[in-house]
């Protein structure tokens, strides 16, 4: 049996700071568009990377809380698509989710995942055209909505200004490698395999249910896997 290959550490890797480089720029982008498109009224969010298949990103209000009881919204971006999309398109997803954040704090969100008329009008006002197909002619409201950038609109202008200052998200998914090559480990279980019932929660609508620790529960409303909570 062959021993696993150990990859030597590149000395240059000891000097780079991927987390700092990435999240400082995401914070910079949120602040830039908050000021340019939302009048600086949005609270800071905790921006995360989530590899949810079939999604460029999502928004969840008050998803995080610190030890002092202060809450923060979550804006998630899917890094699986960074390499195949332009910087402006990635920023468009960020602002798409910021429109949901605006509606949560200053408007009336639709039920569940429904993108309503108020949200659609705000999107158009900031220069993103809602479309269920992602191209011209698509429906502006509904359960699953994408968008396209309105040329010369407020977002287009604001994004060009940010990118003109040298802004870039430089860390993207590497080419596909095997688990052995990457050294990827099995996921750490969120709940012990005790056989006891645990509480599950839908990450989108907050629906809760109790079941055994090893089941896979699907939320019928949002069609997403429910997650175990502690």
**Which run of H or E residues covers position 209?**
strand 208-212
Tokens read off for 118: 């108020």
Residues 36 and 132 in one domain: yes
Whether pTM exceeds 0.85? no
Tokens read off for 50: 């989530």
H helical segments located in 107-153:
117-125
pLDDT tens, residue by residue, 67-125: 999 999 999 999 999 999 999 999 999 999 999 999 999 999 999 899 999 999 999 99
Residues 58 and 141 in one domain: yes
Q: Answer whether residue 125 is part of any domain.
A: yes
Would you state the pLDDT for residue 118? Answer: 98
Q: Answer whether residue 32 is part of any domain.
A: yes
Question: Which pLDDT band, with edges at 50, 70 and 90, does 138 fall under?
Answer: very high
Would you state the pLDDT for residue 205? Answer: 73
Residues 152 and 211 in one domain: no
Q: Give the CATH number, domain containing residue 28.
A: 3.30.2010.10
H helical segments located in the chain:
18-38, 87-106, 117-125, 154-164, 179-182
| Number of compact structural domains in the chain | 2
Nearest Cα residue to 77 out of 100, 101, 94: 94
Tell me which residue range forms the domain holding 208. 197-229
Residues 67 and 126 in one domain: yes
Alpha carbons 214 and 14: distance in angstroms, whole number: 39
Question: Which pLDDT band, with edges at 50, 70 and 90, does 195 fall under?
Answer: low
Alpha carbons 174 and 170: distance in angstroms, whole number: 12
pLDDT tens, residue by residue, 143-170: 999 999 999 999 999 999 999 999 999 9
Residues 92 and 148 in one domain: yes
Alpha carbons 123 and 126: distance in angstroms, whole number: 5
């Amino acid at each position: 049996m062959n021993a696993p290959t150990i990859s030597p550490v590149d000395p240059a890797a000891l000097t780079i700071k991927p987390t700092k480089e990435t999240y400082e720029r995401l914070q910079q982008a949120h602040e830039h568009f908050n000021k340019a498109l939302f009048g600086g009224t949005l609270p800071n969010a905790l921006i995360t990377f989530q590899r949810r298949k079939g999604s460029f990103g999502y928004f969840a209000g008050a998803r995080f809380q610190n030890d002092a009881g202060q809450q923060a919204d979550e804006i998630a971006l899917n890094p699986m698509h960074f390499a195949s999309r332009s910087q402006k398109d990635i920023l468009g997803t960020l602002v798409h989710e910021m429109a949901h954040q605006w509606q949560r704090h200053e408007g009336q969100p639709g039920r569940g995942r429904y993108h309503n008329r108020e949200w659609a009008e705000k999107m158009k006002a900031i220069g993103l055209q809602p479309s269920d197909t992602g191209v011209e002619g698509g429906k502006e409201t509904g359960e699953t909505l994408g968008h396209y950038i309105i040329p010369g609109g407020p977002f287009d202008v604001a994004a060009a200004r940010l990118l003109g200052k040298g802004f870039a998200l430089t860390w993207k998914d590497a080419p596909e490698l095997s688990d052995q090559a990457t050294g990827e480990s099995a996921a750490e279980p969120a709940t012990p395999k005790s056989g006891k019932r645990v509480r599950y929660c839908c990450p989108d609508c907050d629906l809760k249910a109790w079941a055994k620790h090893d089941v896979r529960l699907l939320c019928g409303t949002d069609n997403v896997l429910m997650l175990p909570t502690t």
